[in-house]
Amino acid sequence: MCGIVGYFGSKNAADVIISGLEKLEYRGYDSAGIAVNEGNELEIRKFSGRLSVLADDVKENPMKGNLGIGHTRWATHGEPTIVNSHPHFNKDKSIAVVHNGIIENYLDLRKELEQDGVEFLSDTDTEVIPFLIDKYYEGDLLDAVYKAVGRLRGAYALGILHKDHADEMVAVRKDSPLIAGVGEGEFFVASDIPALLNYTRNVYYLDNGEVVHIKGDKIEILNDKKEVVDKKLNKVTWDIEAAEKGGYKFFMEKEIFEQPQGCKDTLERRLDKDGHIVLDDIKMTKEELENLENIYIIACGTAYNAGVLGKTAMQKFMGIPVYTDIASEFRYNDNFVNEHSLVILVSQSGETADTLAVLRDSKEKGARVLAVTNVVGSTIAREADDVFYTWAGTEIAVASTKAYTTQIVSLYMISLNFALKMGKITEEYYFEMIEKMKELPGKIQEVLDNKDEVYEVAKQIVNKEHAFFLGRGIDYSLAMEGSLKLKEVSYIHAEAFAAGELKHGTIALIEEGTPVISLATQQNLFEKMVSNMEEVRARGANVIAIAQRHNKEVEKVSSHTLYIPDSDDLLSPVIAVVPMQLLALMVSDMKGLDVDKPRNLAKSVTVE
Ligand code: AGP
């Protein structure tokens, strides 16, 4: 995610801003820039790549001035190039803006401004903002900002400077994080607390729609009606490391708890004003879809587990067979990829060597390649024909969590869009599914709010050597992800089994006290799943069930039931995976292991 730092005080603005941005590097970025007011001129410098490139430039060519804004960019619209990096500015460079978030109506605004004669330099949504402010500017910067922001739709945290206002900064917060800091005769704005802790622990937590107005020796917080808000100045007690984790103990925990927002961002920011899914950079036409001979979803690890669920949805919506495989196998199997194939590659990092190899092989065979990835400008994103970004935000922990749930949401959105385009589903069903998907963030949050129930189960598992995850149909795909999470971070030997297959051999492994996490979220398979749970319980297993809230009878065959909110069977994995993610996290923590960096693992496996 992007990082913003703004400063006004007695120190050198560039020094403070760059040191602040360094504390935000954990958020992930691909370019960096800064604007400093050097006495009624704005000096703007920006570079793609690491923050150190900007820092080295500023060291060689110092920037004077004690008022500035800086930015590290996590690209969403436009490649990570210099021209796309922030700050963005208007034609005469009198206004500079840094932005974190997504302006949903930027295309309409861009068109309006181009009709006014504006010539845009970048591909970004952000660049409309300085020109909008310029359009309304008549000497009062704050007033112009209010008028411009009133035209924006979407999510934005903004830092704004004007060359003729050498003692003034305006910052705005809506849906993207932003805080304000107060030091000794100096003021700060930032995306997150770590950026400020070397200078002050006194912060204002901004609410949506609030505006920070720094002018001379005053700071005011205003609401969307430009009325001064009486905000409490808070004292931060965290240390830097804790602050990077947003107060959570581990990045994995933070990222599990970011899933409601990630799923909301991935879905709702792509619904146009009529509620239709807009597939960004996917340009497949109805004819191209109808000419497809086969569709493959290929990935590794957690991304593969998400891909298997994507297959289920795609087959259900589009009514055609979809094949899935793990990338390292697919490359060497006789596959039927040809110029009539669509190969969908799922990859959080966009750098996984096995998946990238499939991309190149598939393109050689003339196939259309569509990437679902979380990293803009990653190799897989750049080499694919079409790209769909999960907007999960940076995922730091090696064990993938929010990427998985947003990958499922993404694959379902793509499937719905394709199926409607091909006339395979009615508009009614299309909108019904979208409405149900909109409920997912709230349902995930319900599970997170009841996380203590999972703790009881973690205590039963922490000292076990083996654990089994059972499921049927969609729940079997889900069991694969649950077992991967547990083994990855707790080092307990965990395996997923198709519940109906257990009696064909594996049930020999069940003994007194063996933990069996049994997924029973699918209504059409519920009875059969209950009898499979009975089978293992009869042989001494400790059956822990995960079921939808209305299925109370599951308690007859389980020692412990983790209920999830009722939902459409197809959507239940996005909710039911959360207790399993929490279970893995808690067991690993209880064992005192390195939750975020498990042994032998890398966040991105760039070797075959
Ligand atoms: C998941 O928790 C693991 N970290 C691993 O299986 C990962 O999903 C796999 O390596 C694929 O990575 P990618 O999504 O970045 O391609």
The stretch 591-603 carries a mean pLDDT of 88
pLDDT tens, position by position, 20-44: 999 887 667 789 999 999 888 999 9
139 and 80 in a common domain: yes
Q: Which residues pair with 347 in a beta bridge?
A: 373
For residue 87, say if its preceding peptide bond is cis, omega within 30 degrees of 0: yes
The answer to whether position 603 is within a domain reads no
Q: Do 210 and 63 share a structural domain?
A: yes
Q: What is the average per-residue pLDDT within 461-486?
A: 97
Mean pLDDT of 553-576: 95
Within a domain: residue 607? no
Name the H helices within 118-159.
128-136, 141-149
- Kindly state the average pLDDT of the residues 333-360: 93
For residue 478, what pLDDT is reported? 97
Residue 359 CA to its chain's centroid (Å):
23
Specify whether 389 is located in the same domain as 463: no
Q: Do 380 and 489 share a domain, yes or no?
A: no
Does residue 597 sit within a domain?
A: no
Ligand 1 centroid – CA 404 distance (Å) = 9
Is the pLDDT at 607 greater than 90? The verdict is no
Domain membership of residue 496 (yes or no) is yes
Judge if 62 and 43 occupy the same domain. Answer: yes
Distance of CA 415 from the midpoint of ligand 1 (Å): 22
Work out which ligand 1 atom sits closest to the CA atom of 380. 16
In one-letter notation, the amino acid at residue 243 is A
| Average pLDDT, integer, range 264-293 | 88
Query: pLDDT band at residue 175, thresholds of 50, 70 and 90?
Result: confident
Residue 265, in any domain of the structure: yes
Q: Is 298 contained in some domain? A: yes
In contact, 202 and 183? CB cutoff 8 Å = yes
Nearby residues of 504 by Cβ (< 8 Å), 6 or more positions away: none
The rounded Å distance from CA 452 to ligand 1 centre is 27
The pLDDT of 401-430, averaged and rounded, is 97
Q: What is the pLDDT of residue 602?
A: 77
Report residue 240's pLDDT band, with 50, 70 and 90 as the boundaries. low
Among residues 438, 467, 482, the one where a domain terminates is: 438
Q: Give the whole-angstrom CA distance, residue 64 versus residue 38.
A: 6
Span 54-72, pLDDT tens digits: 999 999 999 999 999 999 9
pLDDT of residue 238: 67
Q: Among residues 173, 158, 182, 174, which one has the least CA distance to residue 234?
A: 182
* Residue 243 confidence class, pLDDT cut points 50, 70, 90: low
- 371 and 391: one domain? yes
Q: Rounded distance, CA 557 to CA 338, Å?
A: 49
Alpha-carbon gap, residue 496 to 478, rounded angstroms: 9
Listed range (263-272, 301-310, 359-368) with the worst mean pLDDT? 263-272
> Which of the four pLDDT bands, split at 50, 70 and 90, describes residue 546?
very high
CATH (domain of 314):
3.40.50.10490
Domain boundary among 242, 260, 283: 242
pLDDT at 241 over 80: no
Same domain, 108 and 170: yes
Q: Please report whether residue 500 resides in a domain.
A: yes
Look at the block and give the residue holding tokens 């349902």: 443
For the segment 220-237, what is each residue's pLDDT rounded down to a tens digit? 999 999 999 999 898 887
Q: Are residues 82 and 220 in the same domain?
A: yes
342-348 average pLDDT score:
97
> 130 and 189: one domain?
yes
Is 38 found in the same domain as 174? Answer: yes
Q: How many domains does the chain have?
A: 3
Q: How far is the CA of 302 from the centre of ligand 1 (A)?
A: 5
* pLDDT level of residue 305 (50, 70, 90 thresholds): very high
Query: What band does 329 get if pLDDT is binned at 50, 70 and 90?
Result: very high
Lowest mean pLDDT among 190-199, 441-450, 514-523: 190-199
Based on the fold, state whether residues 144 and 288 are members of the same structural domain.
Answer: no
| Domain with 428 in it | 248-438
- Tell me the pLDDT band of 341, cut-offs 50, 70 and 90: very high
- How far apart are alpha carbons 581 and 320 in whole angstroms? 32
Which atom of ligand 1 lies closest to the CA of 305?
Answer: 8
- 458, two tokens: 């973690």
Contacts of residues 272-280 at CB distance under 8 Å and 24 or more positions apart, as own/partner, are 275/431, 275/434, 277/413, 277/416, 277/417, 277/434, 279/388, 279/413, 279/414, 279/417, 280/387, 280/388, 280/389
Residue range 86-101, pLDDT digits in tens: 999 999 999 999 999 8
Query: In whole angstroms, what is the distance from residue 132 CA to residue 145 CA?
Result: 8
Q: What is the pLDDT of residue 202?
A: 95
Q: Is the pLDDT of residue 192 over 80?
A: yes
pLDDT at position 473, please? Answer: 96
Asked if residue 608 belongs to a domain, the reply is: no
| Nearest Cα residue to atom 6 of ligand 1 | 301
pLDDT per residue over 128-145, tens digit each? 999 999 999 999 999 999
* Atom in ligand 1 nearest the alpha carbon of residue 401: 2
Residue 184: predicted pLDDT: 94
Q: What is the mean pLDDT of the chain?
A: 93
Last residue of a domain, one of 242, 271, 298: 242
d(CA 32, CA 46): 6
Same domain, 145 and 187: yes
Helix/strand/coil (H, E, C) string of 319-343?
CCCEEEEEHHHHCCCCCCCCCCEEE
Residue 273: predicted pLDDT: 82
The confidence score (pLDDT) of residue 393 equals 83
Identify the residues whose C-beta falls under 6 Å from ligand 1. 300-303, 347-349, 352, 355, 398-400, 488, 604-605
